[in-house]
Amino acid sequence: MSFGVFAQEKDKFLPKGNEAFAKRDYIDAEADYRISESKYNKKAAASYNLGNSIYRQKQSSEAKIAYIKAIANAKTRPQKHLAFHNLGNAFMNEKKYTEAVAAYKNALINNPADEETRYNYALAKQFLKDNPPPPKDDKKEDKKDDKKDKKDQDKKDENKPKDDKKDPDKEKDGDGKETPPKDPGQPKPKEGGISKQRLENLLDAVNNDEKKVQEKVNAKKVKGKPSNNEKDW
């Protein structure tokens, strides 16, 4: 495929995701939006709709990542308004009221006339007032840091070699030659992200989609043009 043809290729996955979303098939919608986002990573609509499909699956923490990416790629104020609004909703679900207030405030900056955003902004401020974050005790933090520093120094003193002339970072082998210290190894990555069950569902949705496309190609019965009903921001 030449560069010219590739440049003219249309995003077929975004409208397919929209159709699945309209049918409340949020897992299939998520799968199509993820493909669209990976192929056209500068398109804010794919990230925004992906966030909505994940949000509908009650995964607010993961939806926030998609909304933040949509905000970064948004080209217009209405797009930023909707993405910030839904980001605020996700923070509210997690009871992170400080972040929710900031998100709704940014949404209002991009669209001061939206009454729903204004209501959510006032509600988030009230929740923050009723549930203020715990104040930081600087004195306690200083004491903890002093204790930690003292403990670390004590450990260093315990591990310090008795012979000051010996290099503590090197060991000697049987022949008296210096060898580098043992490799402590790499830290293990923490597990997280999409749950195993949701990942399996997404893979099934993608595999089924590819199978349908292959069957159409083999039968040479591809009809009509791809739907162009992108969600309005």
| Residues 32-44: tens digit of each pLDDT | 999 999 999 888 9
Half-sphere exposure of 85 (CA within 13 A, CB side): 21
E-only strand ranges, the chain:
171-172, 178-179
Q: How far apart are the first and last CA of the chain?
A: 33
Q: Of 70, 12, 68, 21, which Cα lies nearest the Cα of 41?
A: 70
Contact yes or no for 5/221 (Cβ under 8 A):
no
| Residues 99-117: tens digit of each pLDDT | 999 999 999 999 999 999 9
Global confidence as pTM: 0.61
Provide the pairing of β-strand 171-172 with 178-179. antiparallel
As to burial, measured by CB atoms within 10 angstroms (0-12 exposed, 13-18 middle, 19+ buried), residue 56 is middle
Domain definitions of the chain by residue range: 9-73, 75-132
Look at the domain 9-73 and name its fold. 1.25.40
Neighbours of 53 (CB within 10 A): 26
Q: Of 48, 44, 46, which Cα lies nearest the Cα of 74?
A: 44
**How much is the mean pLDDT over the chain?**
75
| Residues 44-89: tens digit of each pLDDT | 999 999 999 999 999 999 999 999 999 999 999 999 999 999 999 9
Residue carrying the six token digits 């060991």: 171
